[in-house]
Amino acid sequence: MLLRLALLIGVAAVIFAAGAPQPSWAQNPAPNSAPPAAHAETNDPFGVETNLIAKPIVYVKGTGTWEDTFETITNALKKLKTYADKEGLKADGPAMTIFTSADDKGFDFEVAVPIAAPPKNPPHGEIAVGTSPQGRALKFVYRGSYDDLELFYETVTNYLDDHRIELPNSYIEEYPTDLLSTDPDKLVVNVLIPIK
């Protein structure tokens, strides 16, 4: 948790210095040109540039504490699933969490599900409709339990430091495996760091 917190506190510092929250696709310095890396064990992308395509999303915005990160995200996903099933919405990509700010007690987030088309009946209350982040990003793939994801953030932070990439204004966790139904020890999480 402390390593991820360091990354998120860097996010918060940038946001507070700017005087206002910025969207997850806010501009960041481009990385030095360096060859893409991969995990030695899995050959998964690690620091590989990708292009995020904007899609319609339904999302839940909120705050969470570090002790309850997984529960906070999965509870938001359950609300979105209930809404999507009721409205007959089709998912158009993996669910994601957009982390927008943090301090030592917790974080602000948007848990989102990309959809094929905006809903005919716009949601009310805590569920909203929007657009997913777009633009260039570095992709880091993690496999394992959500609890152990904290250790993975150390390698991501080290990579950013080694390549002189400043901490982002926000970042994204994308879930190719369903957080609600996948074996908790066999999750796949894409960590996406927006870059200019």
Predicted local distance difference test score (pLDDT) of residue 7: 53
Give the pLDDT band (50/70/90) at residue 74: very high
Given a cut of 80, whether residue 96 has pLDDT beyond it is: yes
Q: Taking phi first (over 0 means left), then psi (-120 to 50 degrees means alpha), and beta for anything else, what does residue 164 get?
A: left
Please state the separation of Cα 115 from the chain's center in Å: 17
pLDDT digits (tens, 9 = 90+) for 9-67: 444 333 333 333 333 333 333 333 333 444 445 678 899 999 999 999 999 999 999 89
Give Cβ neighbours of residue 83 (< 8 Å, ≥ 6 apart).
Answer: 58, 89, 123, 127
Please state the separation of Cα 11 from the chain's center in Å: 13
All domains in the chain, ordered by first residue: 2-194 (3.20.80.10)
Predicted local distance difference test score (pLDDT) of residue 28: 36
Q: For the whole model, what pTM was predicted?
A: 0.80
